[in-house]
Structure 1
Amino acid sequence: MILLLAVLAGVAALTAHTLVNAGRWLRRPAGTPATVTEPVAVLLPLRDEAARVTPCLRALLAQRDVPELQIVVLDDGSTDGTREVVRTVAGDDSRVTLLDGGAPPPGWLGKPHACWQLATRADPAATVLVFVDADVVLAPHAVAAAVGELRAARVTLLSPYPRILVTTVADRLVQPLLQWLWLTFLPLPAMERSARPSLAAAGGQFLVVDRVGYNAAGGHAAVSDRVLEDVELARAVKRSGGQVALADGSQLATCRMYDDWPQLRDGYSKSLWASFGHPSAAATVVALLLLLYTVPALVAVAALVGGAPGAAAVAAAAYLLGVAGRVVSARATSGRWWPDALGHPASVAVLGWLTLRSYHLRKRRRLSWRGRPVV
């Protein structure tokens, strides 16, 4: 019972932190932004994205309130006709520049190299760089609102998390954990004010960065071999003296990250090992997550069946508080919460399995993405 009470207290404290983060500290860029007066370069890396780039690019072409907007697209060795799709959608729009990407040199992974090529070949006059992935669709005011928030917050790098679109059971189990994890465990005010690189987070789907600060941090060249290049770029910005902020971008952008379970499984497997570092750290974190969020539901059922109503009540309270944290996170980021939040124990268990799989495949050197090895 003492352990159950400790679990209950821990889950209660973390859910309270989620509530404070979501209600008081989470930035929400303006829905009706002012016109951006500075030059902005939107950078779109593509590798075999013919099937999904059209809505992304059309949304970029529809951006409002950014008179000096350049859209730079890099075809990173696509073999599925991505280049032709871009040409068809862009037509003769003078704002769009289509580049051919080179193969990553030794020591570089594909995504950082593509982003670095885009950043170094964008119009030198652009003072803000906006990195967007092909699975992201921006609202017409998104770039203006995000750049306005970057300047209002006086930070070097702003990461507005898009609303993650979920359709499959796998999506609904795993994807909401992205926002839940940083809203629950990351102290947002400390993250913004602290110079510690370890207190940094970012999502590469939609990333807004001051160009001077980006160059001072070394840009993507400083994270050339990093699987989580977005988080590592945020840390590089902090190491160079810049500041980082997260924002709820659910009103600015949507993102459909994976089409099916194999894509989701492999996408998380390629990068989860990099989130934790040493396997012992991963084992400790996963064990704590399971203890706090998966075990209570199991204990509640077992205690009720075994005739221990007191233990069942405490365990059920811990389970419901964990569900409440998921509800708060989902509502704060325009995500789906009913009935998905009720399956939070299963979500955490799947995350634990994906983490184990990630380390296993890395040890056997079998991790790859988009036809390239992840080394």
Structure 2
Amino acid sequence: MTGVLALLLAAAALTGHTLVNAGRWLRRPADRPAQVTETVAVLLPLRDEAQRVAPCLGALLAQRGVPRLRVVVLDDGSTDGTAEVVRALAGDDPRVTLLAGAAPPPGWLGKPHACWQLATRADPAATVLVFVDADVVLTPHAVAAAVTELRAARVALLSPYPRILVATVADRLVQPLLQWLWLTFLPLRAMERSARPSLAAAGGQFMVLDRAGYERAGGHAAVADRILEDIELARAVKRAGGRIALADGSRLATCRMYADWAQLRDGYSKSLWASFGHPGAAAAVLALLLLLYTAPPLVALGALAAGTPAVAAAALATYLLGVAGRVVTGRATGGRWWPDALAHPVSVAVLGWLTLRSYHLRKRRRLTWRGRPVS
């Protein structure tokens, strides 16, 4: 009984932290901000994105409130006609520049190298750099809102997290964990105030940077070989004396990250090992997550079968607190939460399996993404 009560108290504290983060500390940019007077460069790296670049680029060209907008697109060695699709969409729009990317040199991974080429070739007059992935679709005032929040927060890097679109069962099990993990375990206000690089988070799908702060941090050259280049860039900004912030971007952008289970599985497998670092640390964190969120419903069923209703009630309450954390996260970030939150124990178990797979493939040097090795 003592162990179950300890789990109950821990789950209650973490769900309480989720509630405070989501209700008090999470930044929410205004839907319709004032017009931005700065020159803003939106940077779009593409590699074999012919099938989904149209909604993304179309939304960028429809941005309002940023009269001095520049869109720089880099075709990173695509073989599916991505560049032709971009040319057809952009037409003669003078705001758009299409670049042909070079292959990453030794010591560089593909995504950081593509972003570095974009940043170094953006309009020198641009004081703000906005990195957007091809699977992101922005609302018409998204760039203006994000730049306004960047300046209001007085930070060098702002990461407005898009609303993650889910369609398959795998999506619904795994994707909501992205926001749940940082709302539950990351103290947002402390992250903004602290200079510690280890206390950092960011999402590369939609990331807004003060250009001077980006350059002081060394830009993507400082994270050339990092698979989690977004988080590592946030840490580099902190090391250079800049501040960072997360924001709820669910009203500004949507993102459908993976089309099917195979893409989702491989996408997470390529990077989860880097999220945890040493395998020992990963084992400790996964054990804690499984104890807190996957074990309680099993313990409740076992306790009922054993005729110990008090233990069953405590375990059930622990399970429901985990579900409540998912509900709070979904409601705060525009995500789907019902009835998916009821499967939270399964979600955590799938995350554990994906993490083990990530370490397994990395050990055998079999991790790849978009046809390139990542380890």
Q: CA deviation at 1:125?
A: 0.4
Q: CA deviation at 1:307?
A: 1.5
Q: Deviations over 1:16-53 (max 9, x none)?
A: 00000000000000011000000000000000000000
Structure 1 position 99 matched with structure 2 position 90: no
Structure 1 position 89 matched with structure 2 position 85: no
Counting aligned pairs with the same residue, the percent is: 82
- Segments of structure 2 that go 5 or more residues without pairing to the other structure are none
SS in structure 2 opposite 1:294? helix
* Equivalences for residues 117-196 of structure 1 within 5 A: 117-196=117-196
Q: CA deviation at 1:289?
A: 0.3
SS in structure 1 opposite 2:24? helix
* Equivalences for residues 218-257 of structure 1 within 5 A: 218-257=218-257
Distance 1:298 1:262 in 2: 29
Distance 2:303 2:138 in 1: 48
Q: CA deviation at 1:304?
A: 1.2
Q: CA deviation at 1:134?
A: 0.1
Superposition misfits of 4+ residues, deviation over 3 angstroms: none
Structure 1 position 259 matched with structure 2 position 264: no
The amino acid across from 2:48 in the alignment is D
Distance 2:251 2:157 in 1: 19
The amino acid across from 2:38 in the alignment is E
Q: Which residue number corresponds to residue 357 of structure 2?
A: 357
Q: CA deviation at 1:306?
A: 2.1
Structure 1 position 73 matched with structure 2 position 73: yes
The RMSD of aligned alpha carbons is 0.4
Distance 1:351 1:244 in 2: 27
SS in structure 2 opposite 1:304? helix
Distance 1:244 1:289 in 2: 27
Structure 1 position 18 matched with structure 2 position 8: no
The amino acid across from 1:212 in the alignment is A
The amino acid across from 1:35 in the alignment is Q
Distance 2:91 2:305 in 1: 66
Q: Which residue number corresponds to residue 59 of structure 1?
A: 59
Structure 1 position 312 matched with structure 2 position 312: yes
Q: Deviations over 1:285-305 (max 9, x none)?
A: 000000000000111111112
Q: CA deviation at 1:126?
A: 0.1
Q: Deviations over 1:102-142 (max 9, x none)?
A: 00000000000000000000000000000000000000000
Q: Which residue number corresponds to residue 210 of structure 1?
A: 210
Q: Which residue number corresponds to residue 337 of structure 2?
A: 337
* Equivalences for residues 289-304 of structure 1 within 5 A: 289-304=289-304
Superposition TM-score, scaled by structure 1 size: 1.00
SS in structure 1 opposite 2:129? strand
Q: Which residue number corresponds to residue 272 of structure 2?
A: 272
Distance 1:359 1:3 in 2: 30
Distance 1:207 1:116 in 2: 14
Distance 1:299 1:91 in 2: 61
SS in structure 2 opposite 1:247? strand
Q: Deviations over 1:215-264 (max 9, x none)?
A: 00000000000000000000000000000000000000000000000000
The amino acid across from 1:280 in the alignment is G
Distance 2:276 2:132 in 1: 25
SS in structure 1 opposite 2:241? coil
- Segments of structure 1 that go 5 or more residues without pairing to the other structure are none
Q: Deviations over 1:184-227 (max 9, x none)?
A: 00000000000000000000000000000000000000000000
The amino acid across from 2:73 in the alignment is V
SS in structure 2 opposite 1:114? helix
Superposition TM-score, scaled by structure 2 size: 1.00
SS in structure 1 opposite 2:123? coil
Distance 1:297 1:156 in 2: 43
The amino acid across from 2:129 in the alignment is L
SS in structure 1 opposite 2:162? strand
Q: CA deviation at 1:308?
A: 1.4
